[in-house]
Amino acid sequence: MKAFRIVPQFLPNILNPNLFPITFPKPLHIPVFLSPLSSTISTFRSVFSSSSSTPSMAESGNLTPFDGTLGTQFESFRTQLDETSNLRERIRNVALEIESVTRIMHANLLLVHQSRPVSEVLEKAKSQIGPLKEHFNRLAEIIRDCPGQYYRYHNDWKNETQTVVSLLAFMHWLETGNLLLHPEAQEKLGLNTPDFGLDVEDYLVGICFMSNELPRYVINRVTYGDYDSPRKVLNFLTDLHAAFRMLNLRNDFLRKKFDGMKYDLKRVEEVFYDVKIRGLIDNEDSKGDQGSKEQP
Amino acid sequence: MYAATTIQKLALMASKPKSSRLHNLAGARWESVAKKPRMMTTNASISDSFSKYAEYLNNLNEKRERVVKASRDITMNSKKVIFQVHRIGKHNKDEVLEKAEKDLQAVRDQHVSRLVKELNGTDFWKLRRAYSPGVQEYVEAATFCKFCRTGTLLNLDEINATFLHLCDSSIEPLQINILDYLLGLADLTGELMRLAISRISDGELDFADKICRFVRDLHRELTIIVPNMDESHDMKFKMETMLQSVMKIENGQVCFYFLFVLDIELLFFVACFSVHVRGSEYIPMLGVNDPSYTLMGVPDMEL
């Protein structure tokens, strides 16, 4: 380190350009090269200043410049990358709009916890499906222009889509008591084109999100005197959990969400247990249910 | 009570093999809810569709695994090609490069072709993370070979053209995307830096100078492009490294000029300096208390 410091100080005195047997770029370069070694930030300018002096080097050498060949390719890269970033910008804008629609939808749907009639809640929430469909169509149109690149931009709408799926699935469950299946979800969003579908993993993550909503729903239903709902939800969630166990998951986000599902199941089980032990459930129905449960 | 039975049942199911569990599950559900026709359809359709999802996920994961393996083989063999190119010297250029090119061809035929078979349609982007490292390494090796041969940059289109014959026309050919190509180029500068340093110490100054200007050009061009890249984080990091490579070559050249011109008294300082400059490569040497390595190696032939 010491030696390194000394060099630049005395070299300029010793160096005499006339002594050089080979062509040497101006001695002026030396401090430029030496000074920036200690920090990267300060180097930025100095390297540029040295690269601006490239012509002096080119004069000394007889080598062909590379700019010609490099330039054309990089020029086209630049335009291509500009295009993709424009495209991404457009996609992000649509994704933002999807996000704001889902927020409204979610807010509407939250009323279900306040014991509003389900039909009323659903009607309000459903009014947002139209705009959602529209936005997803716009996404599909944008992606149609770059076939095969769905997954290049997928990250930009992935989270939003997962939330959408969870809300739609929750609504569907409230309405029918069934799980919203993947093709049904696609249909609801109008995503039937081959270039733009609903990614299965997004769908599954969305379903996991939905299961997070159920324990709270059950507790609130029971608070408002609907003692039958724990059994219904428990059956549904048990089936769902069992179905998820059929999947061989990687150690990824979906796996994590699925691992969380068992806590939802547990909470619902607890509520069901509480309701049951207090004798709040209509006896006849639960007896039949109980009997059949214990048989297998 | 119910909770307990459920958990038991789940535990039981977990211990059975997958297929029988699947079967049991459907069967048990069927019985237990026979009284409620609506639930029955739910269960059947849930497990039906989940077995579809399971199949989809299995296929996807298996494919990803195969792609990762192919990518790893490409990386490993491309690295060998790069090492082969580094064996270049003053007199064996053609011979070394010929072998390197042959090896590169083998990488294409044996390993890249495996990738080609796996990927089609949206897979190129879906599984990009799985194959990107291999492809980057390949780009690095291919451009490195080409630069040593002709002193020019191997274009993306030229690389992609070499992949066309790897499959028959029924399969969509593998086309490297810009991002992987650029990431590969960023790595290339590291190799070029090593090559330049070894060329300097071998006395091939012209070649080193050529490399230096090439790397500078590359760095400058990339500086403009990087902010627009898809996930520019990786690339920004690589740009830092690249800049350091440029500087190392420049400093290496300066070192050589000192060595070349100045008398022996200075040598000690210069050697220390060059050890400092190229510290990252020579740390092992310093570790065994042999800082004179560069001092011995460099000046012998020229002074």
Q: Give the CA angle between residues B88, B91, B97 to the nearest 5°.
A: 40
Q: Which residues of chain A have pLDDT under 50?
A: 1-67, 284-296
In this structure, what CATH number is given to the domain that contains residue B265? 1.20.58.200
Where in chain A do CATH 1.20.58.200 domains reside?
Answer: 204-296
Please compute, for residue A14, the number of CA atoms within 13 A of its CA located in the half-sphere on the CB side: 13
CB atoms within 10 A of CB A172: 19
User: Would you call B20 an interface residue with chain A, using a CB distance cutoff of 8 Å?
Assistant: no
pLDDT value, residue A182: 93
User: Would you call A281 an interface residue with chain B, using a CB distance cutoff of 8 Å?
Assistant: no
CB atoms within 10 A of CB B106: 13
User: Would you call A29 an interface residue with chain B, using a CB distance cutoff of 8 Å?
Assistant: yes
Q: Are residues B102 and B193 in the same domain?
A: no
Q: Are residues B74 and B165 in the same domain?
A: yes
Share of chain A above pLDDT 70, in %: 72
Show the beta-strand stretches assigned E in B118-166. none
Answer whether B251 sits within 8 Å of A37, measured CB to CB: yes
Task: Compare CB distances from B250 to A33, A64, A234 and report the shortest one's residue.
Answer: A33
Where in chain A do CATH 1.20.58.190 domains reside?
Answer: 85-198
User: Would you call B8 an interface residue with chain A, using a CB distance cutoff of 8 Å?
Assistant: no
Q: Are residues B170 and B197 in the same domain?
A: no
Q: Are residues B196 and B261 in the same domain?
A: yes
- The one-letter amino acid code at A33 reads F
Answer whether B46 sits within 8 Å of A66, measured CB to CB: no
Of A66, A184, A167, A37, the closest CA to residue A109 belongs to A167
In this structure, what CATH number is given to the domain that contains residue B163? 1.20.58.190
Q: Are residues B72 and B159 in the same domain?
A: yes
Which residue is associated with the tokens 């000192």? Answer: B258
Q: Are residues B150 and B93 in the same domain?
A: yes
Distance CA B135, CA B153 (A): 17
Range of the domain at B264: 178-274
Q: What is the DSSP string of A108-153?
A: HHHGGGGT--HHHHHHHHHTTHHHHHHHHHHHHHHHHTSTT-HHHH
Task: Compare CB distances from B153 to A33, A58, A70 and report the shortest one's residue.
Answer: A70
Residues of chain B found within 8 Å of residue A35, distances taken between Cβ atoms? none
Which CB contacts under 8 angstroms, 24+ apart, belong to B254-257? Answer: B254/A29, B254/A30, B254/A33, B254/A34, B255/B200, B256/B200, B256/B201, B256/B205, B256/B208, B256/B298, B257/A20, B257/A22, B257/A24
Task: Compare CB distances from B35 to A7, A234, A288 and report the shortest one's residue.
Answer: A288
Q: What is the pLDDT of residues B114-145, one digit of tens each?
A: 998 888 888 889 999 999 999 999 999 999 99
Q: What is the DSSP string of B97-110?
A: HHHHHHHHHHHIII
Q: Which CATH architecture has domain A85-198?
A: Up-down Bundle (1.20)
Task: Please check whether residue B290 lies inside any domain of the structure.
Answer: no
pLDDT value, residue B303: 39
Task: Give, to the nearest 10 degrees, the angle between helix B2-15 and helix A283-294.
Answer: 30
**CA dihedral in degrees (A41, A43, A48, A51; nearest 10)?**
-150
Q: What is the pLDDT of residues A183-239, one digit of tens each?
A: 999 999 988 777 789 999 999 999 999 999 999 999 999 998 889 889 999 999 999
User: B208 and B253 in contact (C-beta within 8 Å)?
Assistant: yes
What is the number of domains present in chain B?
2
pLDDT value, residue A4: 44
User: Would you call A253 an interface residue with chain B, using a CB distance cutoff of 8 Å?
Assistant: no
Task: Compare CB distances from B125 to A77, A149, A266 and report the shortest one's residue.
Answer: A149
User: B127 and B63 in contact (C-beta within 8 Å)?
Assistant: yes
User: Would you call B6 an interface residue with chain A, using a CB distance cutoff of 8 Å?
Assistant: yes
Distance CA A215, CA A231 (A): 12
User: A7 and A34 in contact (C-beta within 8 Å)?
Assistant: yes
Task: Please check whether residue B23 lies inside any domain of the structure.
Answer: no
Q: Are residues B129 and B200 in the same domain?
A: no
Q: Which residue of B has its CA nearest to A52?
A: B216
Distance CA B29, CA B171 (A): 44
Which residue is associated with the tokens 């704001």? Answer: A100
Q: Give the CA angle between residues B163, B167, B171 to the nearest 5°.
A: 110
Assigned CATH topology for domain A204-296: Methane Monooxygenase Hydroxylase; Chain G, domain 1 (1.20.58)
Q: Are residues B104 and B161 in the same domain?
A: yes
Q: What is the DSSP string of A16-59?
A: -GGG-SS----TTHHHHHHGGGG-STTHHHHHHHHHHTHHHHHH
pLDDT value, residue B233: 82
| Buried b / exposed e along A108-135 (16+ C-beta atoms within 10 A) | bbeebbeeeeeeebbebbbebbeebeeb
Q: Are residues B172 and B184 in the same domain?
A: no
Q: How far is CA B210 from CA A62, B94, B135, B148, in A?
A: 10, 18, 26, 10
Query: What pTM was computed for the model?
Result: 0.72
Q: Are residues B103 and B188 in the same domain?
A: no
Please compute, for residue A127, the number of CA atoms within 13 A of its CA located in the half-sphere on the CB side: 9
Distance CA A117, CA A135 (A): 29
User: CB-based contacts of B38: which residues, under 8 Å, 6+ apart?
Assistant: A177, A178
pLDDT in tens, chain B (303 residues): 444 444 444 444 444 333 333 333 333 333 333 333 344 445 677 888 899 999 999 999 999 999 999 999 999 999 999 999 999 988 888 999 999 999 999 999 999 999 988 888 888 899 999 999 999 999 999 999 999 999 999 999 999 999 888 877 777 788 899 999 999 999 999 999 999 988 888 888 889 889 999 999 999 988 888 888 877 788 888 899 999 988 888 888 777 766 665 544 455 555 545 555 554 444 444 444 444 444 444 444 443
CB atoms within 10 A of CB A186: 18
Distance CA A139, CA A161 (A): 11
Q: Which residue of B has its CA nearest to A61?
A: B206
Task: Please check whether residue B76 lies inside any domain of the structure.
Answer: yes
